[in-house]
């Protein structure tokens, strides 16, 4: 039974996860905008590669935003992309922990914390009940 059919109230865990995923999408969009502003600078990657990376970042931001909105609506299929994104985020963040730059380490710890909170709340009993995976208690 979907949340729309049962008129079940949206749990706070759903709101938190959807908000965190949307913040991640906005962060990727911010990175894409920053990348766009530096596109004219010479780099290790040629112009074609830079444009591809820009497109990839934009697509990832739009995709993640769409996942956040659909999760907020109670679509159960969004749980898999959220889990994949969080695991990917943890893998990248762990690699950034070896940096000598303090702000990079802080960002890495923040990314790990956000991913951890998202995964735990994603499988909270009220969240799974809202998504229709278990009967509401």
| CA–CA separation, 90 and 116 (whole Å) | 8
DSSP secondary structure of 21-49: HHHHHHHHHHHHHHHHHTTTS--SS-HHH
Residue 136: pLDDT band (50, 70, 90) is low
* φ, ψ for residue 131, nearest 5 deg: -80, -5
Q: What is the pLDDT of residues 55-92, one digit of tens each?
A: 999 999 999 999 999 999 999 999 999 999 999 999 99
Q: What value does the mean pLDDT take over residues 19-24?
A: 96
Q: Where are the domains of the chain?
A: 10-130
Residues whose CB falls within 8 Å of the CB of residue 6, separated by 6 or more in sequence, listed in order: 136
Q: What is the CA radius of gyration of the chain?
A: 17
Q: What value does the mean pLDDT take over residues 22-28?
A: 95
* Cβ-contact 8, 126 below 8 angstroms: no
DSSP 74: T
Whole-prediction pTM: 0.86
Which pLDDT score, from 0 to 100, does residue 81 have? Answer: 96
């Amino acid at each position: 039974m979907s949340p729309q059919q049962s008129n079940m109230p949206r749990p706070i865990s759903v709101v938190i996860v959807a908000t965190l995923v949307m913040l991640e999408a906005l962060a990727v969009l911010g990175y894409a905008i920053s990348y766009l502003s530096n596109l004219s600078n010479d780099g290790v990657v040629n112009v074609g590669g830079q444009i591809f990376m820009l497109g990839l970042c934009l697509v990832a931001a739009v995709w993640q935003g769409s996942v956040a909105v659909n999760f907020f609506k109670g679509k159960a299929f969004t749980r898999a992309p959220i889990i994949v994104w969080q695991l990917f985020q943890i893998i990248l963040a762990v690699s950034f922990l070896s940096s000598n730059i303090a702000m990079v380490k802080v960002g890495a710890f923040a990314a790990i914390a956000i991913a951890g909170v998202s995964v735990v709340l994603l499988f909270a009993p009220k969240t799974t009940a809202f998504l229709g995976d278990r009967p509401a208690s």
